[in-house]
Amino acid sequence: MGDERFQTLVREHVGVLHRIARAFAVGADQHDLLQELLLALWRAAPSFRGDSTEKTFIFRVAHNRALSWRRSEVRRRHRQSEYERLQVEELASEDPLIEQLYAAIHTLESVDRSLMLLSLEGQSYAEIAALHGISETNVGARLTRARRKLTQLMENDNGL
């Protein structure tokens, strides 16, 4: 994949990359994760054989990188003071409902978070199952539990 094709690919799917970064990182870490996703995509681009769609390839590379980044985030969080983290989160606030949704998504386990984000992006259970190497039934069950948890969290936060 040439530089021009890579740039076109990124332009076409930059929204997906932003949403993945937002689902796996908070505050200033979102920008760092986005850079990591772009770098991972750049490195993986030569290995794209056309066995799947470009969008599926992007999802696979970005979600795998986001999942491994998330695992390493635990170590980073210990180095960052609670005050600094809260201050960054307050500055990142936009639409309160969207912020509440992302806060709820952040409470999900990493794999469930990835499944939920893929589902919100309109990916089918078959596509999600292929990306994660699990069955469609497992995808459905995990998404059902995740949606239930998100609903409860959102209702509790809204006092409903």
- Alpha-carbon Rg for the chain, nearest whole angstrom, is 16
What confidence score (pLDDT) does residue 160 get? 46
Query: Do the Cβ atoms of 25 and 33 come closer than 8 Å?
Result: yes
Question: Which residues have a Cβ under 8 Å from the Cβ of 104 and sit 6 or more positions away?
Answer: 149, 150, 153, 154, 157
Q: Could you say which DSSP state residue 122 is in?
A: T
Q: Are the C-beta atoms of residues 33 and 66 closer than 8 Å to each other? A: yes
Query: Which domains does the chain show, CATH number per domain?
Result: 1-92 (1.10.1740.10), 95-160 (1.10.10.10)
Reading the chain (160 residues) residue by residue, the pLDDT tens digits are 678 888 888 899 899 999 999 999 888 889 999 999 999 999 998 888 888 888 889 999 999 999 888 888 766 666 555 555 555 555 555 677 788 888 889 999 989 999 999 998 888 999 999 989 999 999 999 999 999 999 998 888 765 4
Number of other residues whose CB lies within 10 A of the CB of residue 84: 11
Six-digit token pair at 75? 């170590």
Q: Which helix (H) or strand (E) holds 141?
A: helix 136-158
Whole-number Å distance between alpha carbons of 96 and 150: 15
Exposure of 28 in the CB half-sphere (CA atoms within 13 A): 8
- Which among 58, 88, 69, 60 is positioned nearest to 23, based on CA atoms? 69
CB 23 within 8 A of CB 48: no
Residues recorded for the chain: 160
